[in-house]
Amino acid sequence: MKRLYISLTLLISFFSFANCGDGTPVIESIDGNKITTASFESALDTALDTLSRTQNIEKKNVIKFLTEEESKVPQSFLQLRNEFRKRKFFDRYHEMMVVKAAADKSGFSKRSDIKEILKFQEMQLIYGMYVAEQIESRIKITEQELNQGCQELRTKYKQAESLTLEQCYDAARAQIKGRKSEEVYKSVLDRIKETVAIKHNDKFDLEKYLDKEFSFAELSKEESPKVEETKAPEVSPPAPAPEATK
């Protein structure tokens, strides 16, 4: 299984405040924004769904990896497993809500540079999830493929011999899905592009523009030669006055 580079902080960094009136007990209020048991549990479910979509792992398997014995959990999931424990998740969720409230109050969230960063992160997240969902709709895995994949795993890896049939099928499904995802990725991307109207500016020489490397203003400032300090001309001390003739 591929290594997971996503963290709990990233998963819940896109959550928004909600002044909840859902009828469930209020845990606490942060600058008037209530955290209820329902909103907290909904945040956990959203984080699990985000992890599932961004890592292309079925949600039921994510939950299974977070609740099974550690010996049965892939190494890449062990750190996230600890972060998703109820107390740890609440502590991080509470901390981020508090910091976000402070950031909003100080005007940090309204700064143009911060808005641009958030916009770029949102675009990355939507790209990954939408492409993954479109790929998922194109992949069909038969019972025969699962059975064959399971047999190959048991033959290739000794530890796979101790897996139950369901576990073996899950592992085989993940491998088959990964392989098929690579096979259909380009065609899925081409199909997505067909749904969008793209109009190129014929007057703009894109190739010429792309041939030139980026020019970074910050780097230019650092590399600009320092202006030498202008030194005042050295002045010779005045000659001593001639002694008076005695």
Q: What is the DSSP string of 11-80?
A: HHTT-------SSSPEEEEETTEEEEHHHHHHHHHHHHHHHHHHHT--HHHHHHHHHS-GGGS-GGGHHH
Residue type, 237: P
Question: Which of 55-64, 166-175, 177-186 has maximum average pLDDT?
Answer: 177-186
- What is the distance between the alpha carbons of residues 183 and 130, in angstroms, rounded to a whole number? 17
> Is 212 contained in some domain?
no
pLDDT value at 3 more than 50: no
- Residues making up the chain, counted from first to last: 246
- Helix, strand or coil for residue 5? coil
- What is the distance between the alpha carbons of residues 239 and 227, in angstroms, rounded to a whole number? 35
Whole-model pTM: value is 0.73
Residue 229 Ramachandran class (φ > 0 left, ψ -120 to 50 alpha, else beta):
beta
Same domain for 122 and 177, yes or no, is: yes
H-type helices in 56-164, by residue range? 59-67, 78-83, 86-106, 112-138, 143-156
Say what the pLDDT of residue 210 is: 94
Say what the pLDDT of residue 220 is: 66
Say what the pLDDT of residue 115 is: 97
- Calculate the alpha carbon distances from 84 to 47, 170, 211 in Å: 9, 22, 46
Q: How deeply is 95 buried, as exposed, middle or buried, from its count of CB atoms within 10 A (0-12, 13-18, 19+)?
A: exposed
Say what the pLDDT of residue 37 is: 95
Q: Which of 74, 92, 110 is the last residue of a domain?
A: 110
Same domain for 57 and 87, yes or no, is: yes
Instruction: Give the position of tokens 């997971």.
Output: 4
Same domain for 134 and 95, yes or no, is: no
> Is 8 contained in some domain?
no
Q: Write the CB contacts of 111 (distance below 8 Å, at least 6 apart in sequence).
A: none
Same domain for 143 and 177, yes or no, is: yes
Per-residue pLDDT averaged across 197-222, rounded?
88
Say what the pLDDT of residue 53 is: 87
Same domain for 103 and 132, yes or no, is: no
pLDDT value at 74 more than 90: no
Mean pLDDT across the chain, nearest whole number?
A: 84
Per-residue pLDDT averaged across 56-79, rounded?
83
Same domain for 44 and 120, yes or no, is: no
Same domain for 34 and 104, yes or no, is: yes
Confidence of residue 20 (pLDDT cuts 50, 70, 90): low
Same domain for 102 and 150, yes or no, is: no
Same domain for 64 and 125, yes or no, is: no
Number of domains in the chain: 2
Same domain for 82 and 134, yes or no, is: no
Same domain for 187 and 159, yes or no, is: yes
> Is 203 contained in some domain?
no
| Domain limits for position 58 | 22-110
pLDDT value at 123 more than 60: yes
Say what the pLDDT of residue 65 is: 86
> Is 238 contained in some domain?
no
Q: Which of 110, 131, 156 is the last residue of a domain?
A: 110
Per-residue pLDDT averaged across 168-194, rounded?
93
